[in-house]
Amino acid sequence: MKEIFKRLITDFIESPIKDTVPREYDIPLDSKKIVSLIGVRRSGKSSILFDMIKTLRLTISKENIIYINFEDDRLYPLELSHLNMILEGYYELFPQKRDEKVYLFLDEIQAVAQWEVYVRRIYDTLNLQIFITGSSAKLLSTEIATSLRGRTISYEIFPFSFKEYLKFQDIEVNIHSSKSLSFIKNALSSYLKDGGFAETIGEDKSIARKILSDYLELIVYKDIVDRYNISNRSLLKMLNKYCFTNIATLISFNKLYNDFKSQGYKLSKDTIFQYISHLEDAYALFTVPIYRNSIKEEQRNPKKVYAIDNGFKKIYDYAIDKDISKLYENLVFLHLRAKTKNIYYFKQNQEVDFYAKLDDKEVLVNVSYKIEDAKTRKREIDGLLEAMEYFKLNSAYLITADEESVLEIADKKIFIVPLYKYLLE
């Protein structure tokens, strides 16, 4: 195994770094902490690493940078004891580097059980700047929060935001230019249905759907079935289909349990909860609870389900044009989720799509594709006014397709904003 590591290290040092599209993340190269990048598969974590390595190579020797991808088939089967051989092999190749700072990039580290024990030891004992990536939320919540507490800074990586999507396609962002605006709106209609995974952008529709379908298979089988030893695969697939077809919709675990049971599946209520939890852990799905002052109350109510990428909906749902409002809502969720995990929906007499706690403020957001209908308009505005009163806030957002205005009602303001503008804030 040591010889394989030596070959991987040498091959990488000798390879040029491919050009990548710079992302909107500001990740430090010298932080004195272990830097963790966590996110769904194919969201661009490795590309971000390569971009960082390319920057490092401008100022330090190539030999001071180690990159290992733990999903390289030459490393299977890999165990915790094998990890020692990475640096043993490296220092045999470059003994003089023992006295220098070395940058260590460990890609998809969760492939090795108990990896955090190794990373903690080398961080504490050697002159290393360590970067790790993984496709599991557990990296953030469990391994990092326990074994590596205080030693890490973590970044969640998502598929392209709308701003990054435009940059990838060389579309100028100038909302004051009619020409630029026509390109932006045209791009939004594609982004809305096709999503932000880089490999799908500009692809033929059928090929893009196949790529996304393969991604989902990879997530389901590699990150869920294999990792958690799932035996009821057909139930997991059906649950997958249900969730991605019904994004931005309330789901009740009890109702799902009864529906699947009536279809002949053998399962418990816990099974539904666990499978959705696994999909969340793999960053494929997110669930949003109702806002209540007690966690028990939150748990008792249905949750809303959202997808990591709008493109996943079209894998199962060909009548996607009927659900434009849901796709709008999913994009607004992702825009908020990139900023905070503290997101809820709110309901008293009316439902409000999002109540989110950001670092410096609280925000209320409703999403409605079209608000020309008087009843729809009144419902959306009344819901926001009710929530503003409850949370003692004096402003809120209503996201639509085209309308842009400010409603002033007593001492409260509702900003009606087109989706493209909201996403580019």
Instruction: Answer with the one of 119, 138, 157 that is the final residue of a domain.
Output: 157
**pLDDT per position as a tens digit, 264-300:** 998 998 999 999 999 999 999 999 999 998 888 888 8
pLDDT, position 411: 94
Domain that holds residue 270: 161-282+305-328
Residues 90 and 30 in one domain: yes
Residues 175 and 261 in one domain: yes
Would the pLDDT of 221 be above 90? no
Whether 22 is covered by a domain: the verdict is: yes
Residues 39 and 133 in one domain: yes
pLDDT, position 319: 64
Instruction: Answer with the one of 130, 157, 184 that is the final residue of a domain.
Output: 157
Residues 181 and 311 in one domain: yes
Report which of residues 148 and 73 the model is more confident about. Answer: 73
pLDDT, position 304: 97
**pLDDT per position as a tens digit, 47-67:** 999 999 999 999 999 999 999
Average pLDDT value for residue range 29-39 = 94
By the 10 Å C-beta count (0-12 exposed, 13-18 middle, 19+ buried), 194 is classed as: buried
Instruction: Answer with the one of 157, 187, 213 that is the final residue of a domain.
Output: 157
Residues 222 and 151 in one domain: no
Residues 323 and 358 in one domain: no
Whether 298 is covered by a domain: the verdict is: no
Torsion of CA 309, 310, 316, 321, to 10 degrees: 180
* Best-predicted range by mean pLDDT (21-35, 88-102, 261-275): 88-102
Whether 193 is covered by a domain: the verdict is: yes
- Other CB atoms within 10 A of residue 374 CB: 8
SS (H, E, C) 267-325: CCHHHHHHHHHHHHHCCCEEEECECCCCHHHHHHCCEEEEECCHHHHHHHCCCHHHHHH
Residues 319 and 192 in one domain: yes
Whether 300 is covered by a domain: the verdict is: no
Helix 324-337 / helix 178-194 crossing angle, nearest 10 deg: 100
Residues 262 and 315 in one domain: yes
Enter the pTM of the model: 0.94
Mean residue pLDDT of the chain comes to 94
Residues 140 and 178 in one domain: no
Would the pLDDT of 21 be above 90? no
Whether 35 is covered by a domain: the verdict is: yes
Candidates 213, 304, 217, 180; CA nearest to 253 is: 304
| CA separation for the pair 46, 198 (Å, rounded) | 12
Residues 216 and 166 in one domain: yes
pLDDT, position 273: 92
Whether 134 is covered by a domain: the verdict is: yes
Domain count, the chain: 3
Which CATH number does the domain housing residue 18 bear?
Answer: 3.40.50.300
Report which of residues 395 and 359 the model is more confident about. Answer: 395
Residues 276 and 399 in one domain: no
**pLDDT per position as a tens digit, 238-266:** 999 999 999 999 999 999 999 999 999 98
| CA separation for the pair 319, 329 (Å, rounded) | 17
Long-range CB pairs of 290-297 (<8 Å, 24+ gap) are: 290/344, 290/345, 290/346, 290/347, 291/344, 291/345, 291/346, 291/355
Using a pLDDT cut of 70, give the percent of the chain over it: 98
Residues 173 and 318 in one domain: yes
Using a pLDDT cut of 90, give the percent of the chain over it: 84
Whether 292 is covered by a domain: the verdict is: no
Whether 381 is covered by a domain: the verdict is: yes
